Amino acid sequence: MKNTSVSSLQVSVITYNGDNSIIAYCPSLELVGCGYTETEALESFNIVLEEYLRYTTENGTLIADLEEHGWTVKGGGFTPPKTLELLQRNKDFNEIVNNYDFKKQNLSFAIPV
């Protein structure tokens, strides 16, 4: 029987106008979705996030990948890197923050542990 316990994660997603589309970007996971509207971009991002979680969970690489992205994983809890850390090590995020008008929102999702 598979383990069915879940843990909740929260990530910040920023949306901004790209070239001819709206981009939804999660700097703490380096995942991107896009669409012609913010709603489409967030729906695209959710698909990408679901696929990322499915793939890393099935391959047993989720925790290692989160840690590689600067997350702290302790006792079944998951803490994303601080914004300042992301700005220092993520050139794409730094460029977005410094060159685009953007909107930030927090999304919660469950993952199997």
Amino acid residing at 23: I
Q: What is the pLDDT of residue 8?
A: 80
| pLDDT tens for each residue of 18-52 | 889 999 999 999 999 999 999 999 999 999 999 99
- Backbone angle region of 3, left / alpha / beta, with phi > 0 → left and psi within -120 to 50 → alpha: beta
Cα→Cα distances 74→33, 57, 89, 94, Å = 29, 17, 22, 28
Q: Where are the domains of the chain?
A: 10-103
| pLDDT tens for each residue of 60-108 | 999 999 999 999 988 878 899 999 999 999 999 999 999 999 999 999 9
The structure's pTM equals 0.90
| pLDDT tens for each residue of 43-67 | 999 999 999 999 999 999 999 999 9
Q: What is the pLDDT of residue 113?
A: 64
Q: What is the pLDDT of residue 1?
A: 40
Q: What is the pLDDT of residue 36?
A: 97
Decide: 43 and 33 in contact? Cβ < 8 Å: yes
Under DSSP, is residue 76 helix (H, G, I), strand (E, B) or coil? coil
Give just the sign of the alpha carbon dihedral 102, 19, 69, 53. Answer: positive
